[in-house]
Structure 1
Amino acid sequence: MGNPKEAEAFEASTDGVPPPPYQETDNIADAYRPPGPAPSYDVGESSSGSASTSGLRGKFPPALNGYFKMGFTKTFHLGETKDTPLLAARMHSGLTKNPELVLYDGPSDKGPILATATSQSLFRSNSLITIPAQEGVDHDSASQEVIMSCPKMGRGNGTYKFTAKVGVGKETRSEEFEWRSSHGSEVRELDGYRWGWKLVRLSSSTADGGGERATRALGSTSDGLEVVAAWAHNNSMSMSKAFKFQLMGSALTGMLGDRGATVCLITAMRIYTIELATSTAVAAS
């Protein structure tokens, strides 16, 4: 995907073709799966008619990397490797009618829209996240709008908080989540990253009850809450790799459903684009 012409040819050949169902090929996610059996619930039907839940059995694998194409572009891909793109995303300026960030279900921007993110208004720093309805899925028959509070502080400060409907079928419910900046184990496990963000499920608690970082279990916060995702900026010498994202806990097992996993991903990507825009503005000043 480093050659722009090859990238264009790839996108043209995949326009309108949905990606194949993800098949787990290794045990990379085992460390992030909570102990005990997966939760029991009625699995909803996907738009293609097949059963689908989030995480290991959903639309995308539990771990994704974000890659920019070579050259001047506002499109980037998400996949396990640069050569196996599963999802595409495109950034737009806030001066157009398009959302500032659009996530597509497939390796090009011709696929169905999975989610969008944009500023709530010109005068507020909050972000408006939209998850479109999925045709043929009863519990996803209406689109969902989520307001994520965004701090006006610089990188590494503040929190990003939102309430979203998650779950599957009759188990769908509203829950509160919060992205917190972190130097913890969940972030360090992302290929040695030392700083990043972790998504905390505020309505949950973990068995160990939290505590000091050195003694608490992976996936638990100091205040005893569950971590369901983490992401961090690229920590390698790669010129195209932008960030790494990982589902954990309830998002990994499927308890939060496809929509829950999508909300985890699009909110992480939104924070990434906010930080990217901030860094660009600082560099230009």
Structure 2
Amino acid sequence: MECRAPAHLGSHTTGADDVSAKKKSARSTRPATKKARKKSATKKAAKRRKASAPRRPSPVARARAVEVLARLGRRYPDADCALDHADAFQLLAATILSAQCTDARVNLVTPELFARWPTPAALARAPQEEVEQVIHSTGFFRNKAKNLIAMASRLEQVYGGDVPRGMDDLLTLPGVARKTANVVRGVVFGLADGVVVDTHVKRIAGLLGWTKSADPVRIEADLMALLPPESWIEASHRLILLGREICIARRPRCDACPLADLCPSARPAAG
């Protein structure tokens, strides 16, 4: 039902005014144009990039990080990859198996795996059920077996059985993400594109105040912004050793930690 203005309040209002008001109302409720939607999407993307950009460390933070690395270097001068391997292919396979599994467990499994299928060509032809039986104890064995066979097949078909050096090439292999690619490039080829972020590195970086993120990709970006590039490979190995021996997730031994006075999360000594 349409409400009309009483005569004493302005019965002289024209129909043109009503039409104009309706047009304005229609414009206000009209769906956003393609240009407006694009502008909105651009703004949102910019906000996401800003939110995901690594923090810019202060000179004090950089200096403290360098001291942390120096102490870890003295504590673990010979730190290296804990996965047993004889070549790039074995390290690649072992690192795929290490997802959600300890390196010690992987090292118990890989001798039989590589004895039965020592090359990419051999593993590419392996029955998946047999690979699953060998790697069963590493967890997620069905998916890992599928990825191992597919990875070996791609190495054989695309790269002539060799493990590629390039980050982009490595990331095309089934079961390989940045962590695995960083491990292979760092350990085998001595090339550092980033920092290996495993569960220990993730935890300790947070405790040290080096990152506020729980996302491994963001954590890696924060560490790359903070740590000198020449330290990226060794830093990962040493943080992993610290996490296994001292900064244990459930019961950290802060009283025995060489970084206790530099760590904002360190627990005070008892007594």
Per the shorter chain, which TM-score range?
under 0.3
* Structure with more strand by fraction: 1
* Structure with more helix by fraction: 2
Larger Rg: 2
Length-normalised TM-score, structure 2: 0.24
